[in-house]
Structures are given as structure tokens and as C-alpha cells.
Amino acid sequence: MSTTSVTLLDQLRLQPTPKAWQRFVDIYSPILLRYSLSKGIPPDAAADLMQDVFVVFLEKLPTFEYAAGGGFRCWLFTILLNKWRDRKRAEARSPIVTVEGDLPDPPADDDPAAQLGEAEYRQQVVARAVALMKAEFETATWQMCWEHGVLGRPAAAVASELGVSVNAVYLATSRVLRRLKGSLRGMLD
């Protein structure tokens, strides 16, 4: 039986599993938190805002369709900023005074994704995906891929060191990188 590789976003929409949801949260929580903090949002408010973003994503998921170049992270950042603005508007209507002083005004920029540089964003997403994916492979398979595919060591040297064939190094590297590429499809705009 052959199976079709489903991207994480498609899997969440079509065949959600707890593991897929956990992977999504594990990848995007640190990115949304860092973005929130870079906007001057206090950490406790940032954590609440992340939850709001995930709730909106869950609500929109049944009709969600990823379009290449559609700016998925920009969409998430925009949801976060809109939720922040909603909180600020509600706070302005309420006469409650905070003990720690007023929260910073929400940012006014029109391009939230521009605040988190493209290279930094990609590095964060890939690093999180790699860290989560490492546990899915046998240690030897991961080491062959890391040594050859990431560190750029010759396949023959890696094979000799690990006591495997050169072909095994190539296959391990291909398998891990193919899975990583599939996992990241749709997440790197």
C-alpha cells in the first residue's frame, strides 16, 4: 500500500492527529512568542495571545487551504496583532487601571512579517522541525545524515567510520532530508 505524503498543514485540516497538533504547536509557539515579545507585549499577555491565535487557526481550519506564497506566517502574525488590538480596545473601554502601568500600544506597521527577518524565521522553523524530527529516526540513520548531509563530510568517510556501506549513507541522508522537506512544505512561505 502506498501512502501520499501530507504536509503538516494539510494533515491538520484533513486527518488531524494529536501528534500533528503537537508538532504544529511546538514549531509555532516559540516563533509567535518571540514575535510578541519583539513587539513589546508582556510575556503573560503574549502567552494568552498565542492561545488566541491557535483558537482562530482551529476555527478557520475546516476551510483553510494553503496557497504557495500566501504568507502563512504573516497571516498568523496578523491574527496575533489583531487580537492584541482587540484587547487594547477592550481595555480602553474598561476603567480598570493595571498595577504595572499601561501596556505598550499595539504596533502600527502594516507588514508584521517584516519585523522577523526571513532568514531568522526560516532558521527557527527548520531548527524546531529538525529537533522534533530527530527522535523519529534511529541514531545511526540520523548520524549518517547529519555527518554527510549537514556537515558535508564525504559519504565514504562517514561509511568507514560507522561501519556501513556508502550506499547506506546516501539512503539515510535522502530519507531524512526527504522527510524534513515534506514536514516543512507550506511552512516556509
CATH code, domain carrying 36? 1.10.1740
Task: Identify which of 107, 37, 28 has the alpha carbon closest to the alpha carbon of residue 75.
Answer: 28
The total of other beta-carbon atoms located within 10 Å of residue 137's CB is 16
For residues 31 and 19, what is the distance between their CA atoms, to the nearest angstrom?
Answer: 19
Identify the band that residue 97 occupies on the pLDDT scale cut at 50, 70 and 90.
Answer: very low
Give 150's DSSP letter.
Answer: I
For residues 82 and 57, what is the distance between their CA atoms, to the nearest angstrom?
Answer: 13
157 shares its domain with 104: no
What is the pLDDT, as a whole number, of residue 188?
65
106 shares its domain with 187: no
> Are the beta carbons of 25 and 76 closer than 8 angstroms?
no
Say what the pTM is. Answer: 0.53
pLDDT, tens digit (0-9, with 9 covering 90-100), for 9-65: 888 888 888 888 888 888 888 889 888 888 888 888 888 888 889 888 888 887 776
Q: Helix or strand or coil: residue 98?
A: coil
168 shares its domain with 137: yes
Average the pLDDT over 79-101 and give the result. 72
83 shares its domain with 148: no
35 shares its domain with 98: yes
What is the pLDDT, as a whole number, of residue 67?
63
Tally helices (H) and strands (E) across the chain. Answer: 8, 0
Q: Is the pLDDT of residue 117 over 60?
A: yes
For residues 13 and 56, what is the distance between their CA atoms, to the nearest angstrom?
Answer: 14
The total of other beta-carbon atoms located within 10 Å of residue 154's CB is 12
